[in-house]
């Protein structure tokens, strides 16, 4: 659920220009906003990374108590000085005419080779609100994990994705050892840890 404004919290857009357009876009914004002590701020200039809006899904088999996680090369992790492969959940950018649920189902097939049988919304967040406009709506997706695994992805997009079905306890151990270091994956596994019994009762 989006943040609920407190009384008096208002922002005014003065100007927006595109500073860079490549594979991604960076826009330069000029704002004024209200101050908590009253009055208005001066002009605030910020560059914002505009990647688009995304959706993600954690595939989960409630009968086998298994989740499906994926690994693929990530340029952002490389640029941050981290190992550029990490356990994460299925995700993709929402295209025109798609809903977040549409993307969750499409990407589950493309990236992990699984069919989503049911979806439960988990959360919708702004990933880095100080610098990026990208939001991500995440779901838990019911699947049958029998035979799931291997290498998937779209060759046309140079995707090379390792797919692994694992017991939830193993995924939770990865999380506890800090071996899942991307925000969406961490939040999804923590959500399932909190709601697992409820979900398994719902999907039994």
Active site residue 98: no
Closest to 90 in 3D by CA, of 66, 118, 116, 64: 116
C-alpha distances out from residue 152 to 71, 114, 159, Å: 10, 10, 8
Active-site hit among 43, 88, 98, 157: 157
Cα(154)–Cα(110) distance, integer angstroms: 7
143: nearest Cα among 55, 59, 56, 58? 59
**Listed residue (38, 66, 97, 59) closest to 168, CA to CA:** 66
DSSP H/E element including 116? none
DSSP-assigned states of every residue in 57-73: EEEEETTTTEEEEEE--
CA atoms within 13 A on the CB side of 84: 8
Catalytically active residues, by annotation = 157
């Amino acid at each position: 659920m989006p943040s609920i404004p407190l009384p008096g919290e208002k922002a005014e857009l003065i100007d927006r220009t595109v500073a860079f357009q490549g594979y991604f876009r960076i826009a330069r914004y000029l704002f004024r906003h209200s101050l908590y002590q009253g009055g208005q701020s001066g002009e605030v200039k910020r560059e914002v990374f505009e990647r688009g809006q995304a959706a993600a899904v954690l595939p989960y088999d409630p009968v086998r108590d298994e989740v499906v996680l994926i690994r693929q090369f990530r340029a952002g992790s490389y640029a941050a000085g981290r190992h550029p492969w990490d356990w994460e959940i299925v995700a993709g950018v929402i295209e025109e005419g798609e809903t977040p649920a549409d993307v969750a189902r499409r990407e589950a097939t493309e990236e992990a080779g699984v069919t989503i049988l049911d979806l439960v919304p988990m959360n919708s967040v702004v990933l880095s609100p100080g610098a990026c406009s990208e939001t991500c709506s995440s779901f838990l997706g019911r699947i049958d994990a029998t035979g799931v695994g291997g290498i998937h992805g779209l060759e046309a997009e140079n995707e090379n994705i390792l797919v692994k079905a694992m017991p939830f306890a193993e995924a939770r151990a990865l999380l506890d050892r800090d071996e899942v270091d991307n925000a969406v994956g961490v939040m999804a596994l923590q959500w399932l840890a909190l709601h697992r019994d409820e979900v398994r009762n719902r999907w039994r």
